[in-house]
Amino acid sequence: MSFPWHERALLALGSGVALALAFPNYDLPTLAWLSVGMLVLASVGAPPRQAPLYGFLHGLVFYPVCLPWIATVMKQYGSVDPLLSAGIVGLIGLAGGIIWSSFSYAVAVVSRRSIAMACTLAPFFWVSLEFLRTHLPYIGFPWNLTGYAVRGRLALLQLLPITGVYGLSFLIAAYSSFAAYVVLSKSKQSRRMILIITAILIIIATAGSYLVPGAIPHHVAHLVQLDFPQSEHYPANWMQIHSGELDQLEQLSVEAAKKTPGLIVWPEVPAPFTMQDPQFAARARRIARESGNEFLVGIVDWKRSAQGDWDASNSATLLKPTGQRVYTYDKVHLVPFGEYVPLRKWLTFAKHLTADISDFTPGTVYRVGQISGGKFGTFICYEAIFPGEMRRFAANGAELLINISNDGWFGRSAAPEQHLMMSRFRAIESRRWLLRDTNNGYTVSIDPYGRVVASLATDIRGQLDAPYDFRKDLTLYARFGDWFSWMCVIVTVGLVATILRNRKLEMGKYIMTIRSAKKYAARPR
């Protein structure tokens, strides 16, 4: 089956829109199982010079449709002109289009030799490009990877401790590519096979959820949702202005921990909280002492550099019941254009994006701390979207994961729910309980199998009695990381090398043919 170019273009655009609609707040995850196949249909048999267009169109619409909140954040909190912020989202779409153009090109080139081989190799290409998206220098952004579309199917999520989220991306891409092959081949046998595979997946996704074991918690933490309004500016007397609210939050924290002893957690800093401020430091120590419990809180931590300058880090610090500070984790993976400006010399327009927030210094260690009962690891906000980095906490000995975040920057867009979705996958990949405390929602407790077992309403000030436990076992993914993704990359690189080698051989044969023809034409007659 061959499609004219305009039908291929429509398939590619439809593919990008379908995948975007699989994520919150559209919540049509079934479309993800069709999206990759649509792009494969657009690419198979396309002329190699034309094929990159279809992957480009896919990326061009996918990112703006599922990430419109980026423009809102830049406009509202970065003082960026609305047209410029919309243009930056468009640039993200352009960059994504360039990445995915290589997918449609590879599928088109392989399909010239074998359609079956092109459809077989497509999921390997797909995962390799998602892995590339994650690890691009400065701008790696694995938000809404394809595998997250499986979020509502508890049984299928149990693949995560083996392969990470990329295994689920592969599963979706493999199914969708095979569906494309069924359309192209028109084989009765392949039609029967896709029906059988579909039935098996439906059975596993529905009935299989009942076979996923439960987890029994033996501890309770108090996750305090501060619900401070997001602000671009923090006046010098912010603590005095909000002293009444801080007193309320202090009382809430202390009373909850006295009633049910357990760790107190405050979220990623939504205000100028720093232990270098005597007022806040005194309050933090008082919460720990009066409650008689450990207190984990998000702060801006100031340290002197080797050059004698003061450097700020986005951090989490733990105080013992005595008020002594015993643990600090400095956020390693900062938000580009939010917490620092990459390539600052060239991107001068971006200086406004961090002017009113901060320009942080990244940490270097995925540090593990100790609380009563076991060891824990803390990751902060945006770090939750990086699976290969977050699994290091469990690998380093963390028996509990704590994610503190300030999603107030996102407003009530799709971003907070998308962020929660990705954080939940980190719990399953490492098979750890995850306590997630945010400024204004979503504040939850997630068990090691991905169930949200306790949650607090959004946009309220309050605290959640969050059940949890410690686990010491290491999953395959926590131990070995992105082995599956690297396998896909190796297959892809091997294929590219083979294509280049074959092209070189074909070019050599062509040149030899031309030379032979010239010799034949030039010989004496």
Q: At residue 510, does pLDDT exceed 50?
A: no
| 235 pLDDT tier (thresholds 50, 70, 90) | confident
Rg of the chain (C-alpha set):
26
Determine the average pLDDT of the residues in 137-151: 92
Say which range, 92-101, 227-236, 411-420, has the weakest mean pLDDT.
227-236
Determine the average pLDDT of the residues in 496-518: 62
Sort residue 455 into left (φ over 0), alpha (ψ -120 to 50) or beta.
beta
Q: pLDDT tens across 373-386, in order? A: 999 999 999 999 99
Q: pLDDT tens across 427-480, in order? A: 999 999 999 999 998 999 999 999 999 999 999 999 999 999 999 999 999 999
Neighbouring residues of 110: CB distance < 8 A, sequence distance ≥ 6? 117, 118, 121, 495, 499
Q: According to the model, what pLDDT value does residue 506 have?
A: 55
Q: According to the model, what pLDDT value does residue 41 have?
A: 96
Distance between CA atoms of residues 482 and 167, nearest Å: 10
Q: pLDDT tens across 42-98, in order? A: 999 999 899 999 999 999 999 999 988 887 777 666 666 777 777 778 888 888 899
Neighbouring residues of 293: CB distance < 8 A, sequence distance ≥ 6? 222, 257, 261, 262, 263, 264, 321
Q: Helices marked H in 226-374 — which ranges? A: 238-241, 243-259, 278-291, 351-355
| 340 pLDDT tier (thresholds 50, 70, 90) | confident
Q: At residue 250, does pLDDT exceed 90?
A: yes
Q: At residue 356, does pLDDT exceed 80?
A: no
| Residue entry with tokens 């023809």 | 517
Q: According to the model, what pLDDT value does residue 300 have?
A: 92
Distance between the two ends of the chain, CA-based, in angstroms? 49
Q: At residue 521, does pLDDT exceed 60?
A: no
**Is the distance from CB of 12 to CB of 42 less than 8 angstroms?**
yes
Q: According to the model, what pLDDT value does residue 348 have?
A: 55
Q: According to the model, what pLDDT value does residue 186 have?
A: 84
Determine the average pLDDT of the residues in 348-370: 72
Q: Which amino acid is at 308?
A: G
Say which range, 178-182, 246-250, 347-351, 498-502, has the weakest mean pLDDT.
347-351
Catalytic residue annotation: 268, 331, 381
Distance between CA atoms of residues 393 and 413, nearest Å: 30
Q: According to the model, what pLDDT value does residue 248 have?
A: 95
Q: Which of 372, 143, 387, 408 is nearest to 268 (CA)?
A: 408
Q: pLDDT tens across 279-311, in order? A: 999 999 999 999 999 999 999 999 887 787 888
Phi, psi dihedral angles at 481 (to 5 degrees): 70, -140
Distance between CA atoms of residues 168 and 36, nearest Å: 13
Q: According to the model, what pLDDT value does residue 508 have?
A: 58
Determine the average pLDDT of the residues in 482-509: 79
**Three-state secondary-structure class, residue 152:** coil
Q: At residue 351, does pLDDT exceed 50?
A: yes
Say which range, 205-209, 339-343, 492-496, has the weakest mean pLDDT.
339-343
Q: Is 290 exposed, middle or buried (0-12, 13-18, 19+ CB in 10 A)?
A: middle
Percent share of the chain, pLDDT over 70? 90
Q: According to the model, what pLDDT value does residue 304 have?
A: 83
Walk across the sheet containing 219-225 and list its strands: 325-330, 310-319, 295-304, 264-265, 219-225, 462-468
Q: pLDDT tens across 159-204, in order? A: 999 999 999 999 999 999 999 999 999 889 999 999 999 999 999 9
Q: According to the model, what pLDDT value does residue 148 have?
A: 97
**Is the distance from CB of 319 to CB of 294 less than 8 angstroms?**
yes
Say which range, 1-10, 59-68, 354-363, has the weakest mean pLDDT.
354-363
Distance between CA atoms of residues 184 and 170, nearest Å: 21
Q: According to the model, what pLDDT value does residue 45 have?
A: 92
Q: At residue 326, does pLDDT exceed 60?
A: yes
Q: According to the model, what pLDDT value does residue 144 have?
A: 95
Residue 126 or residue 506, greater confidence: 126
Q: At residue 403, does pLDDT exceed 80?
A: yes
Q: At residue 269, does pLDDT exceed 90?
A: no
Distance between CA atoms of residues 299 and 331, nearest Å: 11
Determine the average pLDDT of the residues in 351-366: 70
